[in-house]
Amino acid sequence: MTVRRPAESDRQVIHEALTRCGAFTDEEIRVAIEMFDAGLAGDYSLLVVETDGAVRAYACFGKASLTQRSWYLYWIFVDPSVQRTGLGQVLERSVEDSVRQMGGERLVLETSGRPDYERSRRFYERAGFTVHGRIPDFYNAGDDCIIYCKRLEAT
Amino acid sequence: MTVRRPAESDRQVIHEALTRCGAFTDEEIRVAIEMFDAGLAGDYSLLVVETDGAVRAYACFGKASLTQRSWYLYWIFVDPSVQRTGLGQVLERSVEDSVRQMGGERLVLETSGRPDYERSRRFYERAGFTVHGRIPDFYNAGDDCIIYCKRLEAT
């Protein structure tokens, strides 16, 4: 398993994996790829995880503007074929290490409160994130935004 | 009092007012002007308030991506010389009207929990915003992020 920064050549694999996965709307995939491209251009930080020569997961994160040491974890995607293998945890910890190295002290993320996002929320809670807010119907009627934060301890 | 969309020629007046006001750091002013420019380019919505032929206040807002009907109110600035005159309320209501016209159903905003932001928080609370989250030390040590939301009723 290798965690590394992505190259332009990883874009197509990620686009296909997001589409094949079936969990995302066209708009979500469009925004994810826009942010991936902005990451390649240097506007965000990106990490990908490769196993057996194939990219299986990636994360997109970036410093929150007007803050001293807060970072947003915008997106963490793990190919369904390798979910429940611990690969997501490795990626999440790599994001933390990377943010810490850049002087970050906290990660903030927003995710859906929908029942089909329960596994994602559990994933973040097991990783040490706690809920700091909830905006009712934010994404859509009945689809709240849950705001999570994790304080990164110095290692 | 006139509420209107800004023109390129309002940029300098706003930059000077933000600087003269004394409440903002250089980085905050830089980000505010970047967003004003992005607004002129169509990436955000902007409204300015003019009294006696001079621009005294402006707001920057925009649709929250991946949501159906949620908008962010990124910034609302009222020149200190005209604060407490009701001009801020007029502007905030104009933002609401504008968002409603574009199909928006809720406004979300983030502001500081610092004591010197108490007047801002009171302003939003009087306008009907309620607290939906708090991220400790988000902006800096001792400087929490308070997340407000207001559901816009159809008129």
Q: Tell me the C-alpha distance between B88 and B76, whole Å.
A: 8
Indicate if the alpha-carbon torsion angle B92, B96, B101, B107 is positive or negative: positive
Q: How far is CA B7 from CA A83, B40, B48, B58, B101, in A?
A: 51, 7, 9, 12, 21
- B28-68, pLDDT tens digit by residue? 999 999 999 999 999 999 999 999 999 999 999 999 999 99
Q: Tell me the C-alpha distance between A128 and A126, whole Å.
A: 5
Phi-psi label, residue B144: left if phi above 0, alpha if psi -120 to 50, beta otherwise: beta
Please check the confidence at residue A111 and state whether its pLDDT lies above 90: yes
Among A27, A64, A134, beta carbon nearest to B133: A134
Q: Which residue in chain A is spatially nearest to B26 when comparing CA positions?
A: A66
Q: Is-contact A3 A59, C-beta < 8 A?
A: no
Cross-chain residue pair A70–B138, CB shorter than 8 Å = yes
- The torsion angles phi and psi of B46, rounded to 5 degrees, stand at -135, 145
- A132-148, pLDDT tens digit by residue? 999 999 999 999 999 99
Per DSSP, B141 falls in state T
- A49-99, pLDDT tens digit by residue? 999 999 999 999 999 999 999 999 999 999 998 888 899 999 999 999 999
Cross-chain residue pair A70–B139, CB shorter than 8 Å = yes
- The torsion angles phi and psi of A47, rounded to 5 degrees, stand at -135, 140
User: What confidence tier does A153 reach under pLDDT thresholds 50, 70, 90?
Assistant: confident
Among A68, A133, A149, beta carbon nearest to B139: A68
- B71-95, pLDDT tens digit by residue? 999 999 999 988 888 999 999 999 9
Amino acid at B81: S
User: What confidence tier does B154 reach under pLDDT thresholds 50, 70, 90?
Assistant: confident
Structure tokens at A84: 């429940």
Q: Is-contact B103 B69, C-beta < 8 A?
A: yes
Mean pLDDT, chain B, whole residue set: 95
Per DSSP, B43 falls in state S
* B38 min Cα distance to partner chain A (Å): 15
Q: How far is CA A45 from CA A40, A94, B61, B150, in A?
A: 8, 12, 26, 32
Q: Tell me the C-alpha distance between A8 and B39, whole Å.
A: 30
Q: Is-contact B74 B33, C-beta < 8 A?
A: no
Q: Tell me the C-alpha distance between A105 and A99, whole Å.
A: 8
pLDDT given at position A154: 78
pLDDT given at position A55: 95
The secondary element (H helix, E strand) that includes residue A130 is strand A130-140
